[in-house]
């Protein structure tokens, strides 16, 4: 499917960029929420890159800062509490999103980078027709006549797999199911052909069969449009299905980062291992066992402990873990050969302990 009118987008690419430049490069990004009582360090220095056509999954439990990461990139942190306090988020052909003016950021949003939210039921304006809502996303950024925009909007509805798009164009959100509304949200996000789409738990609110459809749709659209995808989820099944690379986030920082195959085959960080062990297994033979859980709760982001943020819940923590925060780095003993895999854990980084993590993991 070809969608016309990408002229306005081309302007964004004017500064010539090398083909292998990352679409998005985030470096030591810090986004804090300032309240009267204190500061919530929701995103506390995270770095990652997303290359063209790639899907990066950020995985973590509720309140680990994964949604705030996406909102910080979009310039949509909750006001007035939320602020980017450090680091960079460089979007290809645009520059550092953290330093753009409000006006410029508005021009970028929805055009070069767009976002799909978790709640399709409430994310569309109930008093406007869905077709109009897609059309608006186009007309905000491109000079098009109403008729042309309408044609594009109908083409977008068709692209995201909505049957009889001409009729659905006139529907109001409440006349569509949750899955259909999420398709409309995706149509809005892709209407201006962005380089990068952020999807914050796009399937969490949907039932399981619809989840699979939406994930398939995202994969198809990604290859058809060449957009990169930053997918935020707490569902490791979604990660396995969608991700090229994975960031595991815990309490505002990335604790492990690597290719999806490596993360699932050789999880290094005790938190990643705990997450993987918590997936309910349904093996044949009716074997029944208690579901694994990680004991304890996520520390408060307003009052973080010194040392490793996971130390209190970690079965392998020792003195150094409670005193000093480990950096995110390649393990000293990279005998498994996954150099791209980085971990924030002393078990792999402390010269005195190096290799221990591997030892007990293999035991």
Partner 1 sequence: MGTYVTRRLILTLPVLAGILVITFLLTRLSGDPTDLMLPPNATDEARAAFRMVNGLDQPLWTQFIRFAGNALVGDFGASLRFGQSAMSLVLERLPATAELAAATMALALLFGIPAGVMAAVWRGTATDVSIRLVTLLGQAVPSFFLGVVGIIVFAVWLRWLPTGGRGSFGQLILPAATLAFNLVALIARVTRSCMLDVLKQDYVRTARAKGVWESKIIWFHALRNAFIPVLTVIGLQVGLLLGGVVVTETIFSWPGVGRLAIQAIYARDFPVVQAVVFVFATIFVAVNLIVDLLYAILDPRISYR
Residue with Cβ nearer partner 1 (174 or 216): 174
DSSP string, 170-219: T--GGGS-HHHHHHHHHHHHHTT--SEEEEESTTTTS-HHHHHHHHHHHH
Binding mask of the shown chain, residues 185 to 204, with x at each position contacting partner 1 by CB under 8 A: x--xx---------------
Residue with Cβ nearer partner 1 (74 or 162): 74
Calculate the alpha carbon distances from 335 to 39, 257, 276 in Å: 40, 17, 22
Residue with Cβ nearer partner 1 (142 or 256): 142
Q: Do residues 243 and 232 touch, judged by C-beta distance below 8 A?
A: no
- The correct pick among 6, 17, 122, 306 for binding partner 1 (CB under 8 A) is 122
Residue with Cβ nearer partner 1 (116 or 248): 116
- Based on the shown chain and the rule CB under 8 A, indicate whether residue 236 belongs to the binding site for partner 1: no
Shortest Å distance, C-beta 223 to partner 1? 23
- The correct pick among 12, 76, 81, 276 for binding partner 1 (CB under 8 A) is 76
Sequence-distant (6+) residues with CB within 8 A of 337 are none
- Based on the shown chain and the rule CB under 8 A, indicate whether residue 128 belongs to the binding site for partner 1: yes
Edge-to-edge, what's the strand order for the sheet holding 196-200? Answer: 113-116, 196-200, 228-233, 55-59, 245-250, 253-259, 342-343
* Burial bucket for residue 31 (CB in 10 Å: 0-12, 13-18, 19+): buried
Token code pair at residue 261? 């195959």
- The correct pick among 29, 33, 57, 115 for binding partner 1 (CB under 8 A) is 115
Count of beta carbons in the 10 Å neighbourhood of residue 37: 7
Binding mask of the shown chain, residues 10 to 49, with x at each position contacting partner 1 by CB under 8 A: ----------------------------------------
- Based on the shown chain and the rule CB under 8 A, indicate whether residue 137 belongs to the binding site for partner 1: yes
Q: Which residues bind partner 1 (CB under 8 A)?
A: 74, 76, 106-111, 114-115, 117, 119, 122-128, 136-137, 140-141, 172, 174, 185, 188-189
């Amino acid at each position: 499917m070809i969608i016309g009118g990408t002229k306005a987008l081309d302007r964004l690419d004017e500064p010539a960029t090398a083909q292998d430049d990352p679409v998005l490069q985030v470096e030591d990004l810090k986004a804090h929420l300032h309240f009267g009582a204190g500061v919530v360090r929701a995103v506390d220095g995270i770095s990652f890159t997303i290359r063209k056509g790639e899907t990066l999954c950020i995985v973590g439990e509720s309140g680990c800062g994964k949604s705030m990461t996406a909102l910080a990139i979009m310039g949509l942190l909750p006001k007035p509490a939320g602020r980017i306090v450090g680091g960079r988020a460089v979007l290809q052909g645009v520059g550092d999103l953290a330093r753009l003016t409000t006006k410029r950021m508005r021009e970028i949003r929805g055009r070069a980078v767009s976002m799909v939210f978790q709640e399709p039921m409430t994310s569309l304006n109930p008093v406007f027709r869905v077709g109009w809502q897609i059309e608006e996303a186009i007309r905000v950024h491109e000079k098009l006549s109403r008729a042309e925009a309408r044609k594009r909007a109908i083409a977008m509805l068709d692209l995201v797999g909505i049957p009889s798009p001409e009729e659905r164009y006139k529907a109001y959100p409440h006349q569509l199911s949750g899955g259909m509304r999420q398709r409309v949200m995706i149509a809005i996000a892709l209407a201006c052909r962005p380089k990068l789409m952020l999807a914050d738990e796009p399937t969490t609110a949907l039932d399981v069969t619809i989840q699979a459809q939406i994930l398939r749709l995202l994969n198809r659209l990604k290859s058809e449009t060449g957009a990169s995808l930053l997918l935020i989820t707490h569902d490791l099944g979604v990660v396995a299905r969608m991700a090229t690379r994975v960031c595991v986030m815990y309490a505002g920082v990335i604790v492990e980062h690597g290719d999806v195959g490596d993360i699932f085959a050789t999880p290094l960080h005790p938190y990643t291992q705990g997450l993987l062990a918590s997936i309910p297994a349904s093996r044949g033979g009716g074997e029944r066992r208690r579901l694994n859980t990680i004991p304890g709760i996520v520390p408060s982001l307003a009052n973080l402990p010194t040392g490793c943020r996971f130390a209190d819940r970690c079965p392998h923590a020792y003195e150094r873990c409670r005193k000093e925060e480990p950096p995110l780095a390649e393990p000293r003993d990279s005998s498994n050969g996954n150099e791209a895999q980085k971990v924030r854990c002393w078990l792999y980084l402390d010269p005195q302990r190096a290799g221990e993590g591997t030892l007990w993991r293999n035991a």
